[in-house]
């Protein structure tokens, strides 16, 4: 097979990496570049790249779906809490408002401290709550996939 000569200019970092790969694999730089070009130009290479890209897109889509689910749970939880809070909160007389504000500040500081601890641990409260809820379901729950369903 006859081979043609080609002079190529590449980035210095790529040249260093090519040199290191050549030394590690014991293959000439020309051989590595020729194999890379052949793989890039082959029709199977396109199919492999498309398949790999498809897998990556599927993973990203699954992550986006989980984020959307978690965000929906967060929004619903916050909305339910606000509705509950506004429904059951009693007005405070003027004589007790300063004490209530101080207690509110203390509770908020405690909340922020707990949130900081939880975030530092890297846990997910949503996942923890989902696991707790799932473990508390009775076996004949209508949402339980193991249940036989309505008779």
Cα–chain center distance at 5? 47
Alpha-helical segments (H) within the chain: 12-25, 29-41, 43-88, 94-121, 125-136
State the pLDDT at residue 1: 62
- Tokens (6 digits) for 111: 């909340």
State the pLDDT at residue 147: 43
State how far the Cα of 118 lies from the Cα of 106, in Å rounded to an integer: 18
Report yes or no: 19 and 26 within 8 Å, Cβ to Cβ.
no
State how far the Cα of 134 lies from the Cα of 49, in Å rounded to an integer: 39
Cα–chain center distance at 59? 10
Report yes or no: 33 and 18 within 8 Å, Cβ to Cβ.
yes
Q: What is the pTM of this model?
A: 0.44
List Cα–Cα distances, 97 to 55, 89, 111, in angstroms.
Answer: 58, 13, 21
State how far the Cα of 41 lies from the Cα of 97, in Å rounded to an integer: 75
State the pLDDT at residue 144: 47
- Tokens (6 digits) for 74: 């967060």
State the pLDDT at residue 138: 63
Mean pLDDT of successive 10-residue stretches along the chain, which has 151 residues: 83 94 93 88 80 94 94 88 84 89 91 85 78 75 45 37
């Amino acid at each position: 097979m006859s081979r043609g000569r080609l002079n190529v200019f590449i980035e210095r970092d790529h040249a260093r990496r090519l040199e290191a790969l050549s030394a590690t694999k014991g293959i000439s730089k020309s051989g590595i570049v020729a194999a890379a070009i052949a793989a890039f130009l082959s029709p199977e290479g396109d199919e492999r790249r498309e398949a790999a890209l498809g897998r990556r897109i599927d993973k990203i889509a699954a992550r986006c779906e989980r984020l959307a689910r978690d965000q929906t749970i967060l929004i619903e939880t916050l909305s339910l809490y606000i509705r509950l809070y506004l429904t059951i909160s009693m007005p405070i007389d003027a004589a007790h408002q300063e004490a209530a504000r101080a207690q509110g500040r203390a509770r908020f500081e405690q909340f922020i401290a707990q949130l900081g601890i939880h975030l530092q641990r890297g846990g997910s409260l949503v996942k923890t709550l989902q696991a707790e809820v799932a473990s508390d379901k009775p076996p004949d729950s209508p949402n339980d996939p193991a249940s036989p369903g309505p008779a």
